[in-house]
Structure 1
């Protein structure tokens, strides 16, 4: 199988996470996408609600989307959620499948600051979501890596015929100008962002009185 993996704090999960993941799933003919909330994010401040509440919201969303599943491997970890450790474990769980780790271009250009980032390619392909027409500056240190590993089609080049990892798949996605911070601020002000959240997520937030004033 071809399995996509999208991690994040999902505080809360919103259409800015969901729609690009759906577009990547279709573009790369993925069999399923794992949505993976983290417990202790190494690059962000701690979430505003509990891990259990974030897991519940993500699971609710997955129940309504075909081919999406909750992955709680990082949520169960009591140490920072270093991606390379997670991908190594997932690679062991899915030894015959191709893993596609999904990230935005904003994360990709910071990849060299990630823990043991070079080893990510030992366990998965990297999917880089980018806005239409956006190009990485040729002088950026990640441009050489992007060029060397980039693969624009579903067919692997000859040099990777025997590998289920190590490629970069740039995927152009529809821009989603949505952030969890923006949603939390709106909710704190009593504004209900019905166009930014799936109805089941909004229902849970209101029932549990999360983020509300």
Structure 2
């Protein structure tokens, strides 16, 4: 059985923090791969203003130097709200020889009781929680915990830096930074 980590998010834009989390979980759990899953329309926050094609392309640029990372466009191929239950259920049907681990930050660990069909989802996937400042990994649900080096960056911070002319050096992979500038995103 293959072991695959799933890292979902809007990736608007993908940044070094996303890559760090994916690599640390990959190593800690001995995964075969980590798939980045850009969400189409996330249920827990406002939809992204950046179109889907840009977010997928930026994510592909962000991961291109890592052979055990890939992008799954499964949620892009569906319209409507991107519920994790639907995504995982579809992946399990497509990849019967695979065990999936869904990687989430501490903020989402606390939010798990509100997730769509959480009890059924827990039968399909193992959740992996990573710490985020200001959040504990406390939940009534079973999760694997992975300690990662703290790196405080967010997509909101990156977008604000572009909007107000600040530096994004060392916050983004160079290819993503170039792509954003080339397409005048976040101005």
Distance 2:72 2:137 in 1: 31
Q: Any stretches of 5+ residues in structure 1 without a counterpart?
A: 150-167
- Cα deviation, residue 91, structure 1: 0.8
Which structure would you say has the larger Rg?
Answer: 1
- Shift, 1:192, TM fit: 2.8
The answer for the alignment partner of 2:46 in structure 1 is 45
Q: Is the 8 A contact 1:4 1:30 kept in 2?
A: yes
Report 1:29-178 matches (<5 A): 29-130=30-131, 136=137, 142-143=139-140, 145=141, 149=142, 168-178=143-153
- CA RMSD in angstroms comes to 1.6
> 8 Å contact 2:16–2:171 — kept in the other structure?
yes
Residue 154 of structure 2 corresponds to which residue in structure 1?
179
Q: TM (normalized to structure 1)?
A: 0.82
Q: Deviations over 1:63-95 (max 9, x none)?
A: 221200110000111110000111101111111
| Consecutive aligned runs of 4 or more in structure 1 exceeding 6 Å deviation | none
Secondary structure, counterpart of 1:196 in structure 2: coil
Deviation at 1:130, TM superposition (A): 2.0
- Structure 2 distance, partners of 1:23, 1:100, is 13
Which position in structure 1 is the counterpart of 2:21?
20
Counterpart secondary structure, 2:44: coil
User: Is the Cα contact below 8 Å between 1:131 and 1:172 reproduced in 2?
Assistant: no
CA 1:181–1:97 in 2, change beyond 3 Å: closer, same or farther? same
Per-residue deviation, 1:62: 2.5
Following superposition, the deviation at residue 131 of structure 1 comes to 5.4
Q: Distance in 1 between matches of 2:137 and 2:87?
A: 27
Matched, 1:207 2:182: yes
